[in-house]
Structures are given as structure tokens and as C-alpha cells.
Amino acid sequence: MTNGPISLGQDPFDALLSEKARAVEDALDKLLPRPDGAEARLIEAMRYAALGSGKRIRAFLVLAAAEVFHVSSAAALRVAASVECLHTYALVHDDLPAIDDDDIRRGKPALHLAFDEATALLAGDALLAFAFELLSAPETHADGFVRSELVLELARASGPRGLAGGQMIDVTAEPDDLNIGQFMRLQRLKVGTIFAFCCEAGAIMARASNYHRHALQAFAHDMAMAYQMSDDLLAVTRVAANDASQPNMRAAREGLSGRTTFLGLMGADRARDNSWA
Amino acid sequence: MTNGPISLGQDPFDALLSEKARAVEDALDKLLPRPDGAEARLIEAMRYAALGSGKRIRAFLVLAAAEVFHVSSAAALRVAASVECLHTYALVHDDLPAIDDDDIRRGKPALHLAFDEATALLAGDALLAFAFELLSAPETHADGFVRSELVLELARASGPRGLAGGQMIDVTAEPDDLNIGQFMRLQRLKVGTIFAFCCEAGAIMARASNYHRHALQAFAHDMAMAYQMSDDLLAVTRVAANDASQPNMRAAREGLSGRTTFLGLMGADRARDNSWA
């Protein structure tokens, strides 16, 4: 078994991904508040979690879809930064002892270990609120309708019928509880709704037709499934190769046992056939 | 010492407050999602925390200010419900062991005890996201600019330079750390910014001038200080009277020791002179 069939692509795509990730990193650095005042610790924590690493897949989707619709890159970068703030909040709260109790995130100590639990909790909250501040500010789009539509879609994607709902199922479901249909719905809520927002945002900013918005949503949901299957396959491959260079082996081990994955439900061969390899 | 000088008012005001609280309760009941699907537990937790009690002071401010500007009560109730979702999220996360570790909230077990910590964390997150979903939906206002402006102001009020920032200071500051100016800034972030949003929302919905918006903001910040001082005074009065009927004596005790309060900084007499008695 090699990494070949399930790698995300060769050099040109990786280079594009890196270029966009750098642009998003710069945007986040400029847009996030600077530590100042008695609340400086909170802002340091927000920046610790949001800056410095991350694949920025969600931001990449925002930027790519926005280019299709010729949306200005400055506006698209604000939306991309907003999605990364939202994604970071979800990781920070997911890593807390009450949920996954993870020690390492993006190759460095999880926020609640680098700071403390109270700060991680509040920094996650603040990143979630800040994601909506970014979207709703006039700098994101001149048209208030577009801004409110972006907020509405991201709020739905992250609320009880989106990310938060998916996390709830993930926390409560035992590995044997879920059949393939229920597991796909979990992935749809936990990953698909945010991917759908990322792909749809460019169409919203360009005031494209509902036809285009729905087509992008459907594409995004399929891609989110493929992405999750690839992630599972990579985790298994890494564990099989005993690749100690991976900073977060806990996530990798979950690919083999303890947690429901696409692999457990459909087997590696079917997952690979269905993934975007 | 009696409750007289610091009660919030006599019958007519109390009756109005109760009437508005019932209207907000009805609106929240209708607007919050219904438990359904594998994520039902999350929605049950959101409803447990948000429904059934609460003074609804913030909602009252939204409704009162909206009436001044002749905003439709249906629209104002959606904004009032949004603010109560946001306020409930803050209480739920504040009660978690990592922050205040409170057992009782609004006369019943805190959410993390009635459910569990993971559910309380996620339900708080979902309530925060849902607050923005309510504001940005077309049912709240026909004008997208108004909706995005409501979102922007609530996001700012709840983020690192608002509620979350105030909570961070509250968590980290030792009682002797803060002078009166620093303590007033803490209260301004933690209570004042949300009160300001509540009072300003009616003006935003009516597209009133910036003059009116700023006047309402200034009024709200003053009132938030008076509200907090009254709260401190009531806590001391209850502890002095050893009033065991108060469900949350922990909060009351803090009025006397351990935590920075207006009373500790300026003394009860000055606080009473400055409060809205």
C-alpha cells in the first residue's frame, strides 16, 4: 500500500494550495485583532489557534469558487478568512477535554494546553463571533443583501442543523450505532455544510442564480464525502506505515479503531473507489 | 437595609416586563428548532437553557427601543429572541467547570449538569450561531443592509472587544488587580456592549440617523453600569438578609467577597447614589 492513489495531487495543485494558504495566512494576520488591553490574552489565544499552519482547504474552496465568478480577491479573502476562523473555533472546542481531549493540533500544543481551558473556550467563542463580524462588515461586499446572505448561510452551516449538530452526533454515537446512511448524514452535517458554504460563497458574492448556488452546494457535499474518505484512507496508510513524522497520531489511530469511519463501514477498497484519488 | 431603594420598579413596570418576557418566551419557543434526528440531544439542550425562565431584560430593551421607532413587533421579537439566544450561550459557557463552575442557573441545574459538559459546550456554540441565523434571515427585515448591520453590531458586541473580551478579563483579573476605571471597562465589555446593541437595534431596523444610534448606545452603556450596580447591591442585601429563597447564593456571596464589584470599589452608599434607584 502506498500513498500514491490517495494523495491530493502532484506539484501544480500542491503549489496552488500553498500559494492560496499563504494569501489566507496574510489576510488572517491583518484581519484578526492585535493583542491590546486587559483582554490581550484572549486575542493572543485566537491568533495562536488561527495562525501559523493548517491546510486551509476551506479557504481554498472559497477562493477557487470566487474566481469562477470573477469576484474580487480582496473580498474573497475576507470570506476565506471568516471560514478559517469558524473552522479554527470548531477545532479548538473539539480539542477540549470535554470532547476529544486532544493534546496536539496542527503540530503544536492544543490551545487549552498552551493557554488554559477557560481561555480556549472563550477564544473559540470569540473566533465564532469574529467570523460573522468579518462577513457582515461593508468591506466584504458593497451590497448589504449579499453580506446578510453570506451570514445566513454560514450560520445555518455551523448551527444545530450543521457543524454543531454533526459534532453532537459524533460525540454521542457509539461506533456500532451508525449505519452507512446515518454516518453519511453525520459527515454531511459536520463537514459537508461548511464545504457547501465555501463553494457557494462565490456565487452569493456574484449574485449568481439559484441554479448555480444549488449546483455548487451539491458538488461541495460530494467533495466533502470524498475528502473525508481520503482522510480516513490516509490515516490508515500512516498507521500501517507507522509514520511517526505525523504530529497527530491519535487522529490516525482512529482510522483503525474505536470510531466510526468510512473505512469501517465500507472497507478500504470501496472507500478508495469512491474517493477522489 | 431594605430592598426598597434598589428595586427595579413597582407594579406597572413589573407587569410590562412580565408581558414582554412572555412574548419573548413564545417567540423563542417557535423560533428554536424542534428536537429531531440524531442531533436531537443538542436541540433539547438548547431549548432547556433558553426556555422557561430568565428576566429577559435584554429582550425588553430591544422591544422598548423598537417601539420608539415604530418597528413591527414581529421583527423586533426576532431580534429580541436572537439576543436572548446570545445571552443564554454566554451563561451556559460561563457556568462550565472551566470558568465559573456554577451548579444552578435560573433556578434549575446548569446545562452541563442536566446534560453533560460536551453537550453544554456544543449547545452554547449552536445558540451563538443561531443568534446570527435569526438576525440574517429575511423574516427579520426586508432590507439586507439592515440585516447585515444588525449582525455586524451583535458580532462586535459579542467578540473579543465585547462580551468575550469582558469574560476573559473577568476570568483572569484578581479582585485587587482592577481600579475603578479598569473595572468599569470590564463591565462595559461584558454587559454594556450587548445592552448597547439591544437599544440600538430598533434604530437600525428603522434606519434612523447615526445621531439616534449613538445617543441610544450612550444611554445603554450608562444603564448597563446602573444595572450592574443594582445587581451588586441586591446581592449584598440578600446575603445580609440571609435570604435562602434565592436559588443562586453563589452569585450573591460574590457581592460580599472574592470578586471585584462596584461595591468593593466605591462602597454601597456611592453605588446606590449612582444606581437607577
For residue range A32-58, what is the model confidence (pLDDT) as tens digits?
A: 999 999 999 999 999 999 999 888 999
Nearest to A32 by CA among A20, A50, A18, A19: A50
Question: Does the pLDDT at position A107 exceed 70?
Answer: yes
| Min Cα separation B232/chain A (Å) | 22
State pTM to two decimals.
Answer: 0.89
| Min Cα separation B130/chain A (Å) | 6
- Tens digit of pLDDT for each residue in A202-255? 999 999 999 999 999 999 999 988 888 888 888 777 766 665 555 454 554 454
Q: Mean pLDDT lowest for which of A160-174, A236-250, B192-206, B212-226?
A: A236-250
- Looking at chain B, how many residues does it have? 277
For the segment B175-191, the average pLDDT, to the nearest whole number, is: 87
Angle, to 10 degrees, between the axis of helix B73-95 and the axis of helix B40-50? 100
With CB atoms and an 8 Å threshold, state whether A130 touches B159. Answer: yes
Q: Band of the pLDDT at B8, cuts 50, 70, 90?
A: low
Where is B109: in which H helix or E strand?
strand B108-109
Alpha helices by DSSP H, listed for chain A, are 11-31, 40-50, 57-68, 73-95, 111-114, 117-136, 144-158, 163-172, 180-187, 193-205, 210-241, 249-254, 262-274
Place of cell 469574560: B167
DSSP SS3 for B27: helix
- Residue B11: DSSP 8-state: H
With CB atoms and an 8 Å threshold, state whether B148 touches A136. Answer: yes
Q: What is the pLDDT of residue B7?
A: 52
Are B82 and B76 in contact by the 8 Å Cβ rule? The answer is: no
Q: What is the pLDDT of residue A3?
A: 42
Angle, to 10 degrees, between the axis of helix A193-205 and the axis of helix A57-68? 30
Cell numbers linked to B126: 449552536
The CA–CA distances, whole Å, from B71 to A189, A252, B68, B138, B222 equal: 36, 54, 8, 15, 24
B77/B85 Cα distance (integer angstroms): 12
What is chain B's mean pLDDT, rounded? Answer: 88
Burial class (CB in 10 A: 0-12, 13-18, 19+), A274: middle
With CB atoms and an 8 Å threshold, state whether A168 touches B133. Answer: no
Of the candidates B42, B99, B160, the beta carbon closest to that of A164 is on B42
Burial class (CB in 10 A: 0-12, 13-18, 19+), A239: middle
With CB atoms and an 8 Å threshold, state whether B160 touches A93. Answer: no
| Min Cα separation B7/chain A (Å) | 33
Of the candidates B117, B126, B158, the beta carbon closest to that of A164 is on B126
Which sign does the torsion angle of CA A145, A149, A152, A155 carry?
negative
Q: Which residue has the higher pLDDT, B231 or B107?
A: B107
Question: Does the pLDDT at position B61 exceed 50?
Answer: yes
Where is B257: in which H helix or E strand?
none
Quickly list DSSP for B169-182: HHHH--TTT--HHH
Chain B residue with minimum CA distance to A99: B118
Chain B hits for A207, Cβ within 8 Å: none
Nearest to B194 by CA among B221, B225, B232: B221
What is chain A's mean pLDDT, rounded? Answer: 88
What is this model's ipTM?
0.88
Cell numbers linked to A32: 484578526
Chain A hits for B158, Cβ within 8 Å: 125, 129
Between 2.130.10.10, 1.10.3720.10, 1.10.600.10, 3.40.50.620, what CATH number should domain A12-276 receive?
A: 1.10.600.10
Residue in A86, A99, A148 to test binding to B, most B beta-carbons within 10 Å? A148
Q: Which residue has the higher pLDDT, B250 or A91?
A: A91
Q: What is the pLDDT of residue B241?
A: 67
Chain A residue with minimum CA distance to B126: A159
Quickly list DSSP for A125-191: HHHHHHHHHHHHSTTT-S-HHHHHHHHHHHHHHHSTTTHHHHHHHHHH--TTT--HHHHHHHHIIII
With CB atoms and an 8 Å threshold, state whether B136 touches A148. Answer: yes
With CB atoms and an 8 Å threshold, state whether A128 touches B126. Answer: no
Angle, to 10 degrees, between the axis of helix B144-158 and the axis of helix A117-136? 160
Counting one residue from A and one from B, how many pairs have CB atoms under 8 Å apart?
A: 191
Chain A residue with minimum CA distance to B189: A39
A262/A267 Cα distance (integer angstroms): 7
| Min Cα separation A145/chain B (Å) | 4
Chain A residue with minimum CA distance to B95: A118
- Tens digit of pLDDT for each residue in B229-272? 888 888 777 766 665 555 454 544 454 455 667 777 777 777 77
Chain A residue with minimum CA distance to B40: A165
A58/A197 Cα distance (integer angstroms): 9
With CB atoms and an 8 Å threshold, state whether A119 touches B168. Answer: yes
Nearest to A131 by CA among A92, A189, A165, A171: A92
Chain A hits for B148, Cβ within 8 Å: 136, 144-145, 147-148, 151
Are A21 and A30 in contact by the 8 Å Cβ rule? The answer is: no
With CB atoms and an 8 Å threshold, state whether B41 touches A168. Answer: yes
With CB atoms and an 8 Å threshold, state whether A38 touches B128. Answer: no
B1/B236 Cα distance (integer angstroms): 10
Q: Mean pLDDT lowest for which of A147-156, A197-206, B212-221?
A: B212-221
A59/B100 Cα distance (integer angstroms): 35
For the segment B186-197, the average pLDDT, to the nearest whole number, is: 94
Domain ranges across chain A? 12-276
Question: Does the pLDDT at position A195 exceed 90?
Answer: yes
Q: Mean pLDDT lowest for which of A159-168, A236-245, B116-125?
A: A236-245
Are A211 and A85 in contact by the 8 Å Cβ rule? The answer is: no
With CB atoms and an 8 Å threshold, state whether B137 touches A152. Answer: yes
| Min Cα separation A17/chain B (Å) | 29
With CB atoms and an 8 Å threshold, state whether B155 touches A144. Answer: no
Helix, strand, coil tally for chain B in percent (to 5): 70, 0, 30
Nearest to B203 by CA among B211, B191, B195, B194: B211
Nearest to A31 by CA among B127, B159, B134, B171: B159
Q: What is the pLDDT of residue B164?
A: 98
Residue in A133, A182, A207 to test binding to B, most B beta-carbons within 10 Å? A133
With CB atoms and an 8 Å threshold, state whether B125 touches A126. Answer: no
Of the candidates A39, A143, A148, the beta carbon closest to that of B189 is on A39
